[in-house]
């Protein structure tokens, strides 16, 4: 079966939206420092672009998580693969995620990180599929709301492929 990727959001659209998110975060955090927590691997491209657009002082850390059990869609608990390097005590944390689907990953992460003594923990995602939501999680910064389709690019993969595409696309099988 042939596989191709159809563009859903162009490179220009994505970059422009990230620029505006950076402006908004810079305004909201005026006079403060933000600590960006990147959820690997998917959010890495987004976080780098976002960090460049934030004008208040920024520090970065990285974490990788996976769902417990083989069925990632039904599990409500996340397992930490790579943990953060630094403590979160008194920091203004923004968790940076690639996409929110059921909401389980972010909701679980937010609880986990709040318990580590952060001043506050906000959530930022490049993409949101609201139709798929199972857990009611409040996302503070959203790049784009998209339909329920499997997307790749800008860090998101299909079987570890397509992360390096500079746009967001939908995988089609002919």
Residues labelled catalytic: 101
Interface with ligand 5GP (CB under 6 A), residue from 22, 42, 143, 169: 42
99 part of the interface to ligand 5GP, by CB under 6 A: yes
In terms of CB distance, is 103 or 143 closer to ligand 5GP?
103
| Angle value at C-alpha 162, between 54 and 160, nearest 5 degrees | 105
- Cβ atoms < 10 Å from Cβ of 88: 19
Count of chain residues binding ligand 5GP (CB under 6 A): 15
Distances (CA, A) of 94 to 14, 121, 158, 174: 19, 6, 26, 39
In terms of CB distance, is 102 or 110 closer to ligand 5GP?
102
What distance in Å separates the CA atoms of residue 27 and residue 64, rounded to the nearest whole number?
29
Interface with ligand 5GP (CB under 6 A), residue from 5, 9, 22, 102: 102
68 part of the interface to ligand 5GP, by CB under 6 A: no
What distance in Å separates the CA atoms of residue 37 and residue 85, rounded to the nearest whole number?
10
Shortest spacing between CB 61 and ligand 5GP, in angstroms: 17
Shortest spacing between CB 26 and ligand 5GP, in angstroms: 25
Structure tokens at 6: 């159809």
105 part of the interface to ligand 5GP, by CB under 6 A: yes
Torsion angle in degrees (nearest 10) through CA of 67, 71, 76, 78: -10
101 part of the interface to ligand 5GP, by CB under 6 A: yes
Residues lying near ligand 5GP in the complex (CB under 6 A): 42, 97-105, 150-152, 156-157
């Amino acid at each position: 079966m042939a596989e191709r990727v159809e563009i859903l959001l162009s490179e220009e659209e994505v970059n422009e939206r990230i620029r505006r998110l950076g402006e908004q975060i810079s305004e909201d955090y005026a006079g403060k420092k933000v600590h960006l927590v990147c959820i690997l691997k998917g959010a890495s491209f987004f976080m780098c672009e976002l960090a460049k657009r934030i004008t208040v002082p920024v520090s970065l850390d990285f974490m990788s998580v996976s769902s417990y059990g083989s069925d990632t869609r039904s599990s409500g608990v996340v397992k930490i693969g790579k943990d953060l390097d630094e403590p979160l005590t008194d920091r203004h944390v923004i968790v940076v995620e690639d996409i929110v689907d059921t909401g389980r990953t972010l909701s679980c992460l937010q609880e986990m990180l709040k318990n580590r003594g952060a001043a506050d923990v906000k959530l930022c995602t490049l993409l949101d599929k609201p139709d798929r939501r199972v857990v009611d999680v409040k996302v503070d910064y959203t790049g784009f709301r998209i339909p329920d389709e499997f997307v790749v690019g800008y860090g998101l993969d299909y079987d570890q492929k397509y992360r390096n595409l500079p746009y967001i696309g939908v995988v089609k099988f002919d």
